[in-house]
Structure 1
Amino acid sequence: MAAYMEIVEGLQKELICGICRMYFSQPVTIDCGHSFCRACLSRSWRVEAMVFSCPECRQLCQIRQFPELNVSLEKLTDIGSQLSSYLLQRTKGQPQCPIHQKVVKLFCEEDQALLCVLCSQTPEHGTHMLCPLEEAAHNYRGKLQKILSDLEKDFEQAEKLHSQVNGKGLPVLEGYPRIIAQYHDLHLFLVKEEFQCLKRWKEEQRAIKDRLSQHIQILKEIMAKLQQSRHKTIIELLQDFRELFVRSKFVLSQKPKHIISFPVGYPITGMIDIFNKFRVDLTICDYQMLSEDLKSMRARKAWQADPNSDGHFVIAEQSFSSGRQYWEVDVTQIPQWKLGISTTGLQGREHNQDSGPFLFLLCCMKKENNYYFRTYPESELNYEMKDPVPRVGVYLEYDDGTLLFCDVVKCSVIFGFYSIPFTEPVTPTFIPGPPLPGIEAGPMTICPVNSHFCAGCNSSL
């Protein structure tokens, strides 16, 4: 039976058109001996051409007229077709090729497709890896068995872990004290750091108090000598004047700085990391000198001509009426600036629509080579620095009425407003200026939510 099928398949192969790969229909034969369907050959035929190239072997043939029908080959094709039908009946129940109506015997690895012998000879599969169906099935059964084995191992491990969580629970119970211990260690670290910070603050306050006491004592002595000079003779007065005058001027030059009750510049470990959990993406409203991303702003040129004006307020498109928010502002290119929030509703305070919004701002002013920080509304903050603050963080906790301004690089608080009685939404507010005469300041920029300041390299990441 197998030999019979091979003979039939060999005969069928000779009865297939080399162009359409189907049984001949009205076959014609050209000079080189190859035959084609009449319609298939006519599509490649040009009457005016003196030389014709065979579609199968590419041999040049001298053809003056279209070939006549090959009657013998047509009859043989009918016989082959009948044998194909008979063979199809004998192989009924086996998968058939939908194109050639032949039993599929091969499997294409690349296309994952079942093929008959004729399909395997087409250009589409000619260069692909083909193997008999039995061999392909054996290989894939092995792969599936390997996957099944891996899944069974994974299933056993998952069941074991599930029983530990549901029953004994050892890994989970062991995890709890580890987590608690880590937080406990962190808490102890912060408590120690808090103790050191408070100790340093107290020592500084004590030193300031001692300096004030000494200064007061010196003032008393100078004042007493100045009062005594009223009763000196002319000669005594002129003789003692230079020493008394120089010493008085020196004491006045040692005037103590204003003491503030708010500690500035003390680093707090992890503060910025915590605030970053509440980072919000801000964009600013329409303004004369904005960047395309609506995050950078400059002072208008008109303010340069009148630096004593109220300034140019820029507000964010976003407003907040609950929760906690945090944003950062890059001020490395602008020496003077103000930033904070504005609101139109506060409890216990009169407000009419014409008076404008209420403001809570941190203000940086430059005088000579130093930078001075003030607040609006005015507070006890009177902070002076030699170096500018490159990036300022603003933390808002609406429900508690808390507004903090932070030095992002030093991870410290510059100033904080507390217990602000908010009743209406608040809006982040920016004032890029006032400009310094003759100095072209750069932009004030809202930092993207995914950027973080690298203190070591003084740049944004």
Structure 2
Amino acid sequence: MAATVKFLQELQSEITCSICRGYFCEPVTIGCGHSFCQACLSSSWSVGAPALTCPECRGVSQDGQIPLVNRRLAELTELGKELGSKLMQSSQGQSQCVTHQKPFKLFCEEDQTALCVTCGEAPEHGAHKISPVQEAADKNRRELQHIHSRLGRHLEEDEQLLAQVKRPAVDWYWMMRGEFHQLRHWLMEEENRCLDRIRQEQKASQERLLQHMERLQDLMEELQEVDHQPNLDLLQEAKQLLGRSKAVLAQRPRAVTPELREYPIPGLIEMLNRFRVDLTLDPTSADSCVSVSGDLKSAKAAEDWQVESKDSSCHAVLAGQAFSSGSQYWEVDVTQLPQWVLGIYTPYLRRKRTRDMDSFASVFLLQCIKEEGDYYLQTYPGPLDYRMKGPLRRVGVYLEYSSGTLAFYNVLQSSLIYKFNSIPFTAPVKPIFSPGPPLPGTKPGPMTLCAVGSHLCTCCYCSQ
């Protein structure tokens, strides 16, 4: 029997948590090999230095998180508790020491074991805290009663909280639903105002073009009439007619070239920023006419890119990232560039009538060019060829691979420039950037990829 008691004592030391001094409850074992109750370890690690250390040996844990429950140790703990209970029951109603045949008068708080006076003086209990049985029982009874009282208060508080959650004083569900409903209402009103403005401006453009055509027709009729007049009468009216004709012809580009209008959409850029990606440039994709900065965030027309006024050559650099799924959005600062090109490049396969596959590259671009002091935006491919009031400062590009959508935005005005739809992507897509062609006799500036966290408004450029 003495050997059994000793074995049980050794077993109890293996299944006892060194933090709470009780049997393991959902035991976990950390990297150093020591085990604790999961709740005890969690409580120990919730306070203190950032490094998670073992409460027993102070070794630093490499896991950085609470491990899963050690099921084998949990089963061993249950077995030890069962063996201890059976042994106590077999010891004459748990009141007499089997080894020394004496009543239990002491209790070892370390091993949670009842002892007789002789057992209490054994070497294995020498350093343990030992108390009289009645004193230990009274102490534990008070603690258990205190815990019971606390649990009862917490249960009452939780019941009250549950009632509040079911019927909250502030109904956030309906409040937020109302806010979004109001936002939809405001957006619908803004949409109607924007569409009305577009219709009015289209009508004004149509009337302006009709007036220009009428002036052309009137001039043509006057020129025909003058052509049949005597020489002297023709000479008297020719100078005035020639002046009027030159003035009308000079007005033609502005009369027939549509102007790019700005239709701000509230919250547009904020929503697009949800898909913001951090791009870098791939210097290996740039030729000698484009130089890339050391941080791979900006490109500039190199000195080799010498162009004449009629030169339409375009040199570009690709992004270091490629996209074959999802939605992406990036912004480019073109403040210091009068002319530039932005877009995407994708190599994809086109099936021929035969079994062979013909591979070719496709680009979708937005280009800004400057002619005689005016700025023009053009798309390739696409119909956009519009004149602008002034240069763009910051351009946003949105790519949605699955639907084949590519859109360009005026970031500072929160307005759409142009959108490609239903592009048949079948291969990864790479953004493309061209900081030119530079204007003859000018010093080219950089085209810069904007940082993900940068958000600018019109006032940021008010001094430029």
Normalising to structure 1: TM-score of the pair? Answer: 0.61
Instruction: Give 1:385's aligned residue.
Output: 389
Instruction: Give 1:231's aligned residue.
Output: 228
In 2: Cα distance, 1:349 partner to 1:376 partner: 24
Deviation, structure 1 residue 426: 1.0
Look up the SS of the partner of 1:375 in the other structure: strand
Instruction: Give 2:397's aligned residue.
Output: 394
- Per-residue CA shift, 1:315-374, capped at 9, x if unaligned? 112211222111111222333211110011266899844x6x211111112334432211
In 2: Cα distance, 1:208 partner to 1:349 partner: 44
Matched, 1:458 2:461: yes
Q: Which runs of 5+ in 2 are unaligned?
A: 1-116, 130-141
Instruction: Give 1:218's aligned residue.
Output: 215
Instruction: Give 2:100's aligned residue.
Output: none
- Per-residue CA shift, 1:73-129, capped at 9, x if unaligned? xxxxxxxxxxxxxxxx9xx88xxxx9xx9x9xxxxxxxxxxxxxxxxxxxxxxxxxx
1:429 maps to amino acid: I
Deviation, structure 1 residue 257: 3.1
2:305 maps to amino acid: W
Conserved 8 A contact 1:347-1:421:
no
What does 1:424-435 align with in structure 2 at a 5 Å threshold? 424-435=427-438
Conserved 8 A contact 1:258-1:382:
no
Look up the SS of the partner of 2:336 in the other structure: coil
Distance 1:257 1:219, change over 3 A: closer
Distance 1:189 1:309, change over 3 A: closer
Matched, 1:208 2:205: yes
Conserved 8 A contact 1:322-1:399:
yes
In 1: Cα distance, 2:233 partner to 2:386 partner: 43
Instruction: Give 2:249's aligned residue.
Output: 252
Instruction: Give 1:324's aligned residue.
Output: 327
2:161 maps to amino acid: L
- Per-residue CA shift, 1:187-243, capped at 9, x if unaligned? 111111111111111111111122222222222222111111222122322222223
Distance 1:349 1:373, change over 3 A: farther
In 2: Cα distance, 1:434 partner to 1:181 partner: 51
Look up the SS of the partner of 2:385 in the other structure: coil
Distance 1:344 1:196, change over 3 A: same
Q: How many residues align?
A: 325
- Residue 374 of structure 1: which of 364, 372, 378 is its match? 378
In 2: Cα distance, 1:370 partner to 1:214 partner: 23
Matched, 1:443 2:450: no
2:320 maps to amino acid: E
- Per-residue CA shift, 1:49-70, capped at 9, x if unaligned? xxxxxxxxxxxxxxxxxxxxxx
Conserved 8 A contact 1:303-1:311:
no
In 1: Cα distance, 2:281 partner to 2:352 partner: 28
Deviation, structure 1 residue 283: 1.8
- Residue 306 of structure 2: which of 295, 304, 307 is its match? 304
Matched, 1:278 2:275: yes
Instruction: Give 2:180's aligned residue.
Output: 183
Distance 1:257 1:417, change over 3 A: farther
In 1: Cα distance, 2:168 partner to 2:350 partner: 53
Instruction: Give 1:160's aligned residue.
Output: 160
Instruction: Give 1:361's aligned residue.
Output: 365
In 2: Cα distance, 1:332 partner to 1:348 partner: 42
Look up the SS of the partner of 1:282 in the other structure: coil
Structure whose CA Rg is larger: 1
Distance 1:454 1:214, change over 3 A: closer
Look up the SS of the partner of 1:211 in the other structure: helix
2:454 maps to amino acid: S
Instruction: Give 1:17's aligned residue.
Output: none
- Residue 336 of structure 1: which of 335, 339, 344 is its match? 339
In 2: Cα distance, 1:265 partner to 1:407 partner: 8
Look up the SS of the partner of 2:363 in the other structure: strand
1:323 maps to amino acid: G
Look up the SS of the partner of 2:364 in the other structure: strand
In 2: Cα distance, 1:299 partner to 1:244 partner: 46
In 2: Cα distance, 1:201 partner to 1:309 partner: 33
Identity %: 44
Distance 1:254 1:312, change over 3 A: closer
Conserved 8 A contact 2:257-2:387:
no
Deviation, structure 1 residue 389: 1.6
Conserved 8 A contact 2:374-2:387:
no
1:303 maps to amino acid: W
1:328 maps to amino acid: E
Distance 1:380 1:443, change over 3 A: closer
Distance 1:221 1:371, change over 3 A: closer
Instruction: Give 1:405's aligned residue.
Output: 408
Instruction: Give 2:36's aligned residue.
Output: none
In 2: Cα distance, 1:343 partner to 1:279 partner: 20
Instruction: Give 1:128's aligned residue.
Output: none
1:385 maps to amino acid: K
In 2: Cα distance, 1:154 partner to 1:329 partner: 56
Deviation, structure 1 residue 173: 9.7
Q: CA RMSD in A?
A: 3.9
Look up the SS of the partner of 1:217 in the other structure: helix
Look up the SS of the partner of 2:292 in the other structure: coil
In 2: Cα distance, 1:432 partner to 1:349 partner: 36
In 2: Cα distance, 1:170 partner to 1:421 partner: 52
Q: Which runs of 5+ in 1 are unaligned?
A: 1-88, 104-140
In 2: Cα distance, 1:349 partner to 1:281 partner: 37
1:162 maps to amino acid: L
Deviation, structure 1 residue 419: 1.6
Conserved 8 A contact 1:336-1:435:
yes
In 1: Cα distance, 2:398 partner to 2:424 partner: 16
Distance 1:153 1:385, change over 3 A: farther
Conserved 8 A contact 2:209-2:256:
no
